[in-house]
Amino acid sequence: MRIGTHRLPNNLLLAPMAGVSDLPFRRLCRRLGAGLAVSEMVAANAALRTTPKTLRRLDLADEPSPRSVQILGADPRAMAEAARRNLDLGADIIDINMGCPAKKVCHVAAGSALLRDEAKVAAILEAVVQAVPAPVTLKIRTGWDLHSRNGVRIAQIAEQSGIQALTVHGRTRACGFSGEAEYATIAEIKQRVTIPVIANGDIDGPEKARQVLAQTGADGLMIGRAARGRPWIFREIGGFLMGQPPTAPSLAERLAVLKEHLHGLYDFYGERQGPRVARKHIAWYCKGFPGGAEFRSRINALDTAAEQLAAVEQFFSLWVNREEPAT
C-alpha cells in the first residue's frame, strides 16, 4: 500500500486515539505488525503549541518512518501552519482529523463537525495540501448524523483537493461509538474515488478484518480500540490475511509485551506520571482474565513503576505456567 511516495510494509494502520496512541504505543504496534501508526491529534491552535501535552504528542523520537501526525482545527491558515510545523519536526505524512466526535472538539467546529460545512472542508484540505510537500491524508466519519450522511461527497472533495488517502470510520458523529459500524458507505466511497480508502470501525480480529475488506473493497484497515491491550492484533490479522491460521500469543509473550510497553511508558512519561498513564493499559492487557477486575483496582492504588511491575509479574505468574487463555 502506498501513501504518496511512501510504501507501507502492509495495509494495517493504528488509529490516532487520544490518550492511547502515544509514542511508546505507536512504536510497539509498529514492531508487532502495524504498517503505519498515526499520532494522537495535535491541535492547530498556536496557543497550545508549548503545552506539555502537545510537546509530548510532537515527540517522534526513534519512531520508524513514515511518521504520520494528525492535526486538528477549523481554520485553514492555522491548519496549514500546523502542517508545516509538524513537517519541520519530523513528520512524513500529515493527517487531518475530521472524524473526532468529542463534544469539546465539535463545539469549536472542528473534528466531525466540519462535515456539516463542505465549503470549509475544501478550504482546509486545499490549504494544507498546498502548504506542505508531504502527502496529506484525511480521516472522516460517514456524516454528521443519519439524515446527513455525506461521506461520499466529502471523499470526492478530498480527492479533488489533493488528499492522498482517506480513512472512513463507519459511523456518523451522532453515533459516537455506539451500535455497530456500517460498511456500505465505505464501499460506496471506494467505488467513487481513486485514492486509497482505509476502512475503520469495529475491526476486532482476523475474521472481521477479512470480512470488512471483502465487504468494502477497501485498500487498508485502521484498527483502534481493539488494539488496546492487544498490540499483537496487527500481526495476527496480517498473518491471517496472508493465509496463516490465526494464533494468539502465549501468556508468557503477552507478559513480555506488557512489560516492554510499561518500560516504554515509564521512560517516556517519567517516574511520576508514567505509572499513572500505565494503569489503563494494564487494565486492557488483563481484560478477560479471572480476577482481572480485582487486579485492576489494586493497580490503581499503586504509584510507582517498581510496584506496578511486581504486581504485574505476580498476577501473570498465576496463569503463565497453566497457559489458560483469557476469555
| Catalytic residue IDs | 100
Return the bridge partners of 167, or none: 139, 198
Distances (CA, A) of 297 to 282, 305, 307: 11, 16, 14
Nearest Cα to 3, choosing from 41, 42, 36?
A: 36
DSSP three-state, residue 174:
coil
List the grid coordinates of 192.
Answer: 467513487
Distances (CA, A) of 147 to 16, 114, 143, 176: 27, 16, 8, 15
d(CA 25, CA 20): 7
Nearest-5° Cα angle at 118, 112 to 124? 75
315 Cβ partners below 8 Å, 6+ apart?
286, 289, 291, 295
List the grid coordinates of 258.
Answer: 506488557
d(CA 199, CA 216): 8
List the grid coordinates of 27.
Answer: 512504536
273 backbone dihedrals φ, ψ, rounded to 5°: -85, -30
Determine the distance from the C-alpha atom of residue 228 to the mean position of all C-alpha atoms in its chain, rounded to a whole number: 10
